[in-house]
Amino acid sequence: MTTERSRTAHSESADQLARRALGTLRGAGGATVAADHVEASGTESGGDPAVALGAVRIVGADVLAPYVLTGQIPSAGETSAIGLALSALPPAEPPPPAPPEGPEAAWTMAWVDWGLCTVLARIDPVGAPVRPAALPQGPPPCDDDAPRRMPLTTSDPEAAGSGIREGWVPWSTRMGKLASLALPGLDGPVHAAAKSGVLALARGAARATLRRDFPTAARITRWLAWLHAEGVAVPFDPAPLTEHITLLGGSDRAALDTAIARRLLGLEPV
């Protein structure tokens, strides 16, 4: 059973790992991200390598973002550490159905795992110790007209299997949880959903910013940056919002999201 103490430990470890990835992306970190994090957890007093491996799964493809965005090849130690994290608790096969038919947390984790496996296999097809995870189902479609109606929630008994479109508030929040997929070279049903739900993402980013929920705003705005980099028209220039969140985001995960968004927008040299 997952305890609050365990969740806190994994969250703190994921923040530390995001900080390492951010440092490497900015050229201030070490040569590896995951390998250094796992190794440090085994030498620090009170550290737990199992928690560090869990953090790799939480951060997902962003562990490899510095390599994706700079063109570097991860070392054998790096791919080995990521492979160990994936083999310790293999991705679910078959993947769980998309919510509301299936549990949201398990579905989100399946997509995060897919992103990590896919990026690893593409960035190092010879040395990658894992094969790409099975492709999960895409998210329910978003209804941009939802502000004129009561938004659906995952508890709506009519939603499962009915093809009913989901309101933009829960939809954009769910897409934000999949922000680690907003990287060059990744493509799948979630990316197709982002391209068809641009207005919902813009609304979600604006809403999160006005609510001062900067971690959520950073995640959703990163999707807008990815869309802009893909040549998709967005309702507003995401660059000023990215810069705003960069100053106010606060957390390590938000800082990594905005740093990646800045790279996608060309605000920092690649």
Task: Give 169-214 pLDDT, tens digit per residue.
Answer: 999 999 999 999 999 999 999 999 999 999 999 999 999 999 999 9
Task: Tell whether the model's pLDDT for residue 100 goes beyond 70.
Answer: yes
pLDDT digits (tens, 9 = 90+) for 127-182: 555 555 678 888 888 876 444 333 333 333 333 333 456 789 999 999 999 999 99
Instruction: State the average pLDDT over residues 245-261.
Output: 91
Which pTM value belongs to this model? 0.87
237's CB contacts (< 8 A; 6+ apart) are none
Residue pair 34/130 in contact (Cβ under 8 Å)? The answer is no
First to last CA, the chain: 43
**Domain boundaries defined on the chain:** 1-136, 138-270
Q: How confident is the model at residue 244 (pLDDT cuts 50, 70, 90)?
A: very high
Mean pLDDT over each residue of the chain, to the nearest integer: 84
> What is the structure's pLDDT at 18?
94
The phi, psi pair for 136, rounded to 5°, reads: -70, 170
Helix (H) or strand (E) holding 27: none
CB 193 within 8 A of CB 186: no
CA pair distance 97, 110, nearest whole angstrom:
10
Between 34-43, 101-110, 185-194, the lowest mean confidence (pLDDT) is in 34-43
Rounded Cα distance between 249 and 187, Å, is 27
Cβ neighbours of 12 (radius 10 Å): 13
What Å distances lie between residue 260 and 31, 139, 182, 216, 223, CA to CA?
A: 18, 23, 9, 15, 10
Residue 38: CB atoms within 10 A of its CB come to 27
Please give the Cα distance from 66 to 260 (Å, whole number): 9
**Mean per-residue pLDDT, 65-94:** 86
Largest Cα span, the chain? 56
Which two structure tokens, joined as six digits, stand for 198? Answer: 């641009």
* Comparison of pLDDT for 31 and 70, the residue scoring more: 70
Q: What is the pLDDT of residue 201?
A: 96
- Output the CA angle 221-206-196, nearest 5 degrees: 60
Residues 25 and 71 sit within 8 Å (Cβ to Cβ): no
